[in-house]
């Protein structure tokens, strides 16, 4: 049996995440679910947004997939119920799971757009308290507590990370490139106070593909193009960070590129190092090369990438983390064991263990707890 540590799953937030937590005066303005026009909607600050279709397809036959919004009643309970989720995961050999937000955006960017920034902060804190006190508390040996930050204010962000660290947070969920959201980017010193807190606490920063917004659906492209080419965004954003001052100022900082894939990485590192050498002089670039930063400060993630896996010797199997992506369309669930068996057939056992769990155990400071009878020690 494969003991899987999934560094990338997704929560479909239950309807009361915010309404049960924000101060009474914010109850109408904070996200809450209403029924209207024959659908369920998230409503906040006078805006409404449908619940998600393709993001909650686990357990559905492919013939029923689509971009149409789903109701909670259309999803399997594991989408929004942590106890059911834990049961689903364990039954598939998944014994640790890092969970990304849905309504707040994969990196929590939604609240940056809120007009009332006190409300926005209350919403960030409500999501974090939901994760720490409710979701992870339902199965603390399985759910890895990852929290979001008030992205619009670096001092507030550092403070919120400190608050959640004290409550047991093991990772920070962030956006791939804050400059895409109109904030200072990685080539400034603006984020240094936050990065200092993360480095000091050895807190990995997880950046999910799409967290800075999507640029691939410009023009007339269709959804499959965005899905198939999503790795191109991770390539771009990770190269941006590899070439930025951030990992040079904070040499022990840890970045995780969630759902970005691995197979493109050797070509990217080859090209980046060559350009670093070529343009270094006039661009005033110094210090570690891009590939050195990648191998020191970054982790890359894989769902089901048989060819990609053959490239691991270029950057090292210790850089690869495994994802089950529950309940998205790419999820391995409920066939994770069969997929691992096929994917890792030709990979030495110590590398399989590293990729499926021990790299993540070390990175997140979260040792796997495998229930007796679940093949512990196998």
Query: Where on the chain is the footprint of a second copy (CB under 8 A)?
Result: 62-63, 65-66, 177, 179-180, 184-188, 215-216, 218-225, 227-229, 231-233, 235-236, 239-240, 243, 261-264, 266-268, 270-272, 274-276, 278-279, 281-283, 285, 290, 304-308, 311, 314, 329-330
Smallest separation (angstroms) from a second copy to the CB of 158? 20
Report in angstroms how near the CB of residue 185 gets to a second copy at its nearest.
4
Q: How far apart are CA 296 and CA 180, in angstroms?
A: 25
* Residues β-bridged to residue 208: 258
Smaller CB distance to a second copy: residue 65 or 155?
A: 65
Nearer to a second copy, 144 or 347 (CB): 347
List CB contacts of 340: < 8 A, sequence separation 6 or more: 2, 4, 93, 332, 352, 356
Q: Which is nearer to a second copy, 24 or 307 (CB)?
A: 307
Nearer to a second copy (CB atom), residue 9 or residue 304 = 304
Nearer to a second copy, 93 or 261 (CB): 261
Give the nearer residue to a second copy in terms of CB position, either 47 or 214. 214
CB of 247 closer than 8 Å to CB of 199? no
Nearer to a second copy, 57 or 86 (CB): 57
Question: Is the backbone peptide bond immediately before 339 cis, with ω within 30 degrees of 0?
Answer: no
Pairing of strands 32-36, 39-44: antiparallel
Query: Is 118 or 189 the residue whose CB approaches a second copy more closely?
Result: 189
What is d(CA 105, CA 112) in angstroms, rounded to the nearest whole number? 10
In the bound complex, what is the minimum distance in angstroms from residue 276's beta carbon to a second copy? 7
Residues 92-109: b if buried by 16+ CB within 10 A, e if exposed = bbbbbbbbbbbbbbbbbb
Q: Show the tokens assigned to 274.
A: 């060559």
Task: Give the whole-angstrom CA distance, residue 65 versus residue 59.
Answer: 10
Q: Exposed (0-12), middle (13-18) or buried (19+): which is 62, by Cβ within 10 Å? A: exposed
Q: Give the nearest distance from C-beta 303 to a second copy in angstroms.
A: 9
Q: Which is nearer to a second copy, 84 or 188 (CB)?
A: 188
Smallest gap from residue 236 Cβ to a second copy (A):
4
Least distance to a second copy, CB of residue 61, Å:
9
CB of 182 to a second copy, least distance (A): 9
H or E stretch at 342: helix 336-343
Question: For the residues of 318-337, what is the DSSP string, one character each?
Answer: GGEEE---TTSTT--TT-HH
DSSP E strand boundaries for 87-127:
94-100
| Integer CA distances (angstroms), 156 to 60, 126, 150, 151, 186, in order | 41, 15, 6, 8, 18
Instruction: Work out how close the CB of 53 gets to a second copy at its nearest, in angstroms, rounded to a whole number.
Output: 10
**Closest distance to a second copy from the beta carbon of 108 (Å):** 18
Dist. CA 170–CA 284, nearest whole Å:
36
Place of tokens 């309940």: 327
């Amino acid at each position: 049996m494969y003991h899987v540590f999934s560094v990338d799953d997704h929560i479909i937030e239950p309807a009361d995440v915010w309404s049960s937590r924000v101060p009474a005066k914010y109850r109408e303005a904070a996200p809450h679910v209403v029924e209207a026009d024959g659908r369920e909607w998230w409503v906040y600050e006078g805006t409404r947004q449908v619940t998600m279709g393709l993001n909650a397809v686990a357990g559905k036959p492919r013939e029923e997939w689509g971009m149409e919004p789903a109701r909670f009643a259309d999803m399997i309970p594991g989408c929004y119920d942590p106890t059911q989720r834990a049961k689903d995961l364990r039954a598939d050999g998944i014994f640790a799971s890092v969970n990304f937000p849905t309504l707040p955006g994969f990196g929590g960017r939604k609240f940056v757009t809120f007009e009332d920034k006190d409300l926005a902060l209350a919403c960030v804190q409500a999501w974090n308290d939901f994760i720490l006190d409710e979701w992870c508390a339902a199965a603390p040996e399985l759910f890895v507590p990852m929290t979001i930050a008030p992205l619009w204010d670096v001092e507030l962000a550092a403070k919120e990370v400190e608050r959640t660290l004290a409550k047991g947070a093991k990772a920070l969920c962030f956006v791939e490139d804050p400059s895409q959201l109109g904030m200072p980017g990685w080539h400034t010193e603006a984020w240094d106070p936050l990065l200092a807190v993360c480095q000091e606490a050895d807190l990995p920063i997880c950046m999910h593909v799409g967290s800075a917004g999507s640029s691939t659906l410009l023009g007339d492209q269709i959804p499959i193009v965005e899905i198939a080419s999503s790795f191109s965004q991770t390539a771009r954003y990770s190269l941006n960070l590899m070439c930025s001052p951030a990992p040079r100022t904070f040499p022990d900082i840890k970045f995780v590129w969630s759902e970005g894939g691995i197979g493109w990485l050797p070509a990217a590192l080859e090209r980046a190092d060559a350009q670093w050498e070529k343009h270094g002089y006039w661009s005033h670039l110094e210090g570690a090369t891009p590939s050195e930063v990648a191998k020191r400060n970054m982790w890359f993630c894989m769902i089901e990438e048989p060819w990609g896996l053959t490239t691991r010797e270029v950057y090292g199997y210790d850089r690869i983390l495994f994802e089950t992506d529950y309940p998205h369309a790419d999820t391995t669930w409920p066939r994770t064991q069969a997929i691992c068996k096929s994917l890792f057939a030709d990979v030495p056992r110590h590398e399989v263990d590293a990729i499926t769990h021990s790299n993540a155990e070390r990175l997140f400071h979260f040792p796997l707890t495998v229930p007796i009878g679940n093949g512990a020690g196998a």
